[in-house]
Structure formats: C-alpha cells, structure tokens
Chain A
Amino acid sequence: MLVLSRKEKESLLIGDNIEIIIQSIDKDSVKIAIVAPKDVKIMRKELVEQVTLENQQAIITLDPAALKSLLQLEKESSDE
C-alpha cells in the first residue's frame, strides 16, 4: 500500500483519468473531491459492507414448503 501526505487543495492522479482532490481538512474529517470517468464506481466502503452483510443474512432463507406454511399461518391469523 502506498501512503502519501497531501495538504489542503492538493491532489493526486490515479492512472490517466482519475483525480482525487483534498478539498478541506477538518479536525476529524476530510472533504475529498473525485474526478473520474462515469463507469468508475465510487462507494462508501461501510455501505458496501452493510449491503454485503444483509445479502449474507438473506441467503439463510426458507424453502418453499416452509414459506408456504408461513403464508398459510399468516392467512389464517388474519382471517380470524
């Protein structure tokens, strides 16, 4: 991993068409501007991690028979 120091308003170039600009620096956060082609996906890492976790939990799922009996149960309780 490459680690560089940058001051406010300085920037970095990644490859030929990505620029990362340090817009402002606060006590505990930095504001970063990114110039990149549209097809470069830029995401907050924690959001991707949350979605991944949600997907991993979703895969522990029910078979159709169990789901059917659940649907049946719900139907009966709402009919009452």
Chain B
Amino acid sequence: MEIQSKFFGLTTVHPDTIIDMIQPIYGFNQAQRYTLMSDSSIGDSLVWMQSIDHQDICFILANPQAFALKTPSSLPSEVLELFEVNSLEELDVAYIVNIKDSLNQATVNLKSPVIFNPINKKAAQIILNEDLPLRERLISSC
C-alpha cells in the first residue's frame, strides 16, 4: 500500500511491516497503525514512527543502544501477557524523542517507552511503575 508520510513523501508500506498498537500512544488513540521509517544518512539510531492513517502524526524514536540509554530490567507480568511473550528479551524497546531546536536539548521519555514485539508487529506505549524521568537528556553532557 502507499501512504502519504509527513517527511518522506509518498511511501510504499509493505503490509507485513505495519505496526499495530495494542495500546495507543497516549493522546493519539486515533492512530492505530504505524510504520517505521529511517533516513539512510542518519542510520537506525533515530527512526520516524509514522501513522498510516494520519499523515501529521509522526514521532521520532531513539534506539536506546545507540544513545547508551537505560532500558527496563523487567516488565510487569501483565505487559508480557499483553504481548503474548514469556520474557522481556523477546521485545524491543524505543523511546519517544522530544527535540526542541538542538540535539543537546533533546529529551527522551524513559517513563513511558514504546515497546514492540518484532515477531507479530504489535506495539504499545507502556507507563512503567518505576520512578523514571519523562525528560531525560538524549545526549548526556559528559
């Protein structure tokens, strides 16, 4: 299928790559399906999560490994059940990035990661019980 994306123009999306939200991104209940897009010169450290049905809804996600960000050491059992997996290792974690006008000012929301099951392409934004910041610097000052 072809979709009109916010930044990448008209884009072909293979049905197998469509991400289906089992719990919506908070505040964006109307966007149920997304696709991940990347820019070859930027690489996979930052990806755009583009809504299939709403062109204007597009988030930037950070790959925690690329920015040495902490990832949850465990998830509540009901979250694992929601994803129909036995362990956290079967899931991918990404953080929504909030970029103002410089990357040094950019923050990530560690409290509520977007979690993906790479096998069945289900995803959800989960609010973790741990005391974690909603605004952690993407790039640490050290």
Are A54's CB and B103's CB within 8 A?
Answer: no
**Count of chain B residues with Cβ under 8 Å from any Cβ of A?**
35
Instruction: List chain A residues, Cβ under 8 A from B97.
Output: 58, 61
Instruction: List chain B residues, Cβ under 8 A from A48.
Output: 26, 127
Pick from A39, A54, A67: contact of B109, CB under 8 Å:
A54
Q: Is B98 an interface residue (CB 8 A)?
A: yes
Instruction: List chain A residues, Cβ under 8 A from B56.
Output: 59
Of A6-14, A15-23, A25-33, A68-76, the one contacting chain B is: A68-76
Residue of B nearest to A37 (CB): B78
Instruction: List chain B residues, Cβ under 8 A from A71.
Output: 42, 103
Are B102's CB and A70's CB within 8 A?
Answer: yes
Q: Is A5 an interface residue (CB 8 A)?
A: no
Whole-angstrom CA separation of A50 from B104 in the bound complex: 22
Whole-angstrom CA separation of A38 from B78 in the bound complex: 6
Q: Is A3 an interface residue (CB 8 A)?
A: no
How many A-B residue contacts, CB cutoff 8 Å? Answer: 79
Residue of B nearest to A44 (CB): B127
Whole-angstrom CA separation of A62 from B58 in the bound complex: 10
Pick from A50, A52, A57, A67: contact of B42, CB under 8 Å:
A67
Leading 7 A-B pairs by shortest Cβ distance: A52-B27, A64-B39, A63-B7, A58-B98, A52-B26, A51-B26, A38-B78
| Interface residues of A, Cβ cutoff 8 Å to B | 38-39, 43, 47-48, 50-59, 61-64, 67-68, 70-71, 74
A-B contact pairs, 27 of them (CB 8 A): A38-B77, A39-B78, A43-B127, A47-B127, A48-B127, A51-B112, A51-B125, A51-B127, A53-B27, A54-B96, A54-B134, A55-B26, A55-B27, A55-B96, A58-B97, A59-B28, A59-B56, A59-B57, A61-B99, A64-B7, A64-B8, A67-B42, A67-B46, A68-B42, A71-B103, A74-B102, A74-B139
